[in-house]
Structure 1
Amino acid sequence: MLTLTRAKLSRGSAGEPLPTVFKSLAGEGVHIRRGQLTLIAAAPGVGKSVKALTVALRSGAPGYYASADTDAFTMYLRAGAMFTGWSTHDIENAVMAENTAQVDALLEAKSNVRMDFAGRIELDYLEQDLYAYAATYGEWPHFIVIDNISNLESEGEGYQALEASCDYLHELGRKTGAAIIALHHVTGEFDDGIKPVPLSGLRGKISKVPELILTLYRNAESTRLFVCPVKNRTGRNDSSAQWQVPLAYDPSRMRLADISTESEATPYG
C-alpha cells in the first residue's frame, strides 16, 4: 500500500497525455492519457476511425491498432490520403497503377504503429500481439486502439459483454501503461450522425469505467467534425453534449485538423 504522495512518485507514465495532436482539445484539458481508457463513440461513417487513426499516426507515439471494423486496404487508402494530401480515390488509382512508392515511403516512417486486421479481436491473440510488440521494441505500445469494442471477445452477452470488455481494457491500461482507445457505437436515435450525442446516447451502459468519453457528429456539409467531451475525469466536460469542439474535416482526403491550422499545407510530417 502507498500514501498518495508515494503514489504520485511511483506512477511512471500513467496519466501522462499522448503527444498533442489537436491543440483545440488539449487547450480545454481534453487529453488521451496513458494508463487510462478513452471511449470514442459515434454513428457509422461519422469519423471515429479517422479520429483514432489520426491520433495514432500523427502523435508520433509507438502503438498498436486492432482494426476489426476496417479492412487493411481501406486503412491503407485512408493513411495514404492523410499523409500525402491526395484523395482516397487518388491513392486507389496509384495502387492500380503500381505507383505507390511515394505513399509507401511516407507510411513506412510510421512503422512503429503495428496493425492487426482480424475480424474478431480474440483476447489470447491480442495479448500475444502485445507481448510480441514488447519483445520487438523493448516496451509496451504507448497506445492500443480497439476498433471497435463490440468486436472484442468477452464473456456474457449484450450489455454484460460490453461492461466486461470495458473492465478488461481498463485493466489492460493499468498493466501496460498504454493509452487504451476503444471505439463504440451510439443508440439509434443518433444514428444519423448530425446531432450531438450525450453521455446517455452510448449503446449499452458502459460509461462508468472509461476516464474519457468523446462523442462525435458532423455538420450536413461534412466540413466540420464536432467532438463532445461528455466525460472527462481530469478536465472540462458536459454530459449533455452541448459543449463541442469543432475540427476541420475533409473526408475525401482524411484530413482532420484544428480549425486554426486547416489552411496548413499537406502532407503531414
Structure 2
Amino acid sequence: MVWTSLEEKGIRFLRGQLVLVAAGPGTGKSIMALNLALRGGVPALVFSADSDAWVQLTRSMAILCDRTIEEASQAILEDRIPGEDRERLARAPIRLDYDASPDTDDLEEAVESYEEVYGDFPHLIIVDNITNVRGGADDDDPFSGLESILDYLHSMARATNACVVALHHVTGPYVDSDKPIPLSGVKGQVTRVPELVLTLHGALNVSPVKNRSGKADPSGLTYAELEFVGERALVRDPSPTAGSPWSAPWGG
C-alpha cells in the first residue's frame, strides 16, 4: 500500500491480478506507476517502453531523494550525486527494461531472466504502455491486438503471482483528462480481462471503473484524490501528514 486514499476506496494492487490504468497524455500515469514501483517496497520489474533511461533516472532521484527533477538533472549531468542519494537509488528494489517496442516473447524472456538471477519472480510488473508492445495489431487498426496482449499479461500475473500493471490510453473525448473518464472511455474497449481498471483525470483523481475485489463505478464519477507534484515527480496522499517520499519499507 503506497496511498491510503486508494485503500480507503477499496483500490488495491493485488498479486496474481492484472490492473489496467488508462488516462490521457500528460496526466501522470507513468509517474504514478513509477511511484508505485519505487515506494511499494516489493521487487519490481518495469518495462519502460514509453520513457527512456534519462527520464526514469531523473524522476527516480526526485521521488526517492526529495529533489526537484531539475535538481536531479543537474546533479547527474555534473556527476555530483550525494552519497546518500546514491545509496537510496541503489537500495530501490527495481529493475527497468528500456526496449521501445518489445513483443510478448521479449517480455517473457525478461521475466524469466529476472527469476533466473534473483531466484523469484518480481512481485510487481509494470508495462508502460501496452500500445508499445508488438503483438498482433494490423496496419489499419493499431489497437486490434491489444486484447490478446492483455490475455497474455493476465496469464503472466497468474503464472508468476505478480501484480501486473498495464498502462493504456483513452478515447478522444477524454484525452484532455479534464473530467472523469468512464469504463467506456478506455481506448479499444479492452476492459474484459483485467481484474481492476482505473482511469485518471485531473491532478490526480483515480476512478475504479472496474474492480472485482471491491466497489466500482463504471461512470468514473466515484474517485479517490491524490496529489501530483509534477516538479518532484511525486504522487502522494493529499495530506500534510503524508510520509516522506523516501521513507519506503525497504529502508530507503
CA contact (8 A) 2:42 2:124 kept: yes
Amino-acid identity (%) = 38
Cα distance in 2, alignment partners of residues 32 and 97 from structure 1: 38
Cα distance in 2, alignment partners of residues 141 and 135 from structure 1: 11
Change (3 A) 1:83 1:208: same
**Structure 1 residue 172, shift from structure 2 partner:** 1.0
TM-score (norm 2): 0.92
CA RMSD of aligned residues (A): 1.4
Structure 2: unaligned runs, 5 residues or longer: none
Residue in 1 aligned with 2:109? 128
Residue in 2 aligned with 1:210? 194
CA contact (8 A) 1:37 1:210 kept: yes
**Structure 1 residue 260, shift from structure 2 partner:** 2.6
**Structure 1 residue 262, shift from structure 2 partner:** 5.5
Residue in 1 aligned with 2:154? 170
Q: Which has the higher contact order (CA 8 A, sep 6+)?
A: 2
Structure 2 residue 31 is matched with structure 1 residue 76: no
1:238 is matched by which residue type in structure 2?
Answer: D
Structure 1: unaligned runs, 5 residues or longer: 1-19, 219-223
Residue in 2 aligned with 1:62? 43
1:239 is matched by which residue type in structure 2?
Answer: P
Change (3 A) 1:96 1:115: same
Change (3 A) 1:237 1:67: same
- The SS at the match of 1:81 is helix
Cα distance in 2, alignment partners of residues 122 and 81 from structure 1: 30
Q: Deviations over 1:15-63 (max 9, x none)?
A: xxxxx11111112221111111100111011000011111111111002
After TM superposition, what 4+ stretches of structure 1 lie above 4 angstroms from structure 2?
261-266
**Structure 1 residue 196, shift from structure 2 partner:** 1.0
TM-score (norm 1): 0.87
CA contact (8 A) 2:129 2:166 kept: yes
Cα distance in 2, alignment partners of residues 27 and 208 from structure 1: 25
**Structure 1 residue 237, shift from structure 2 partner:** 1.0
Structure 2 residue 66 is matched with structure 1 residue 89: no
CA contact (8 A) 1:227 1:246 kept: yes
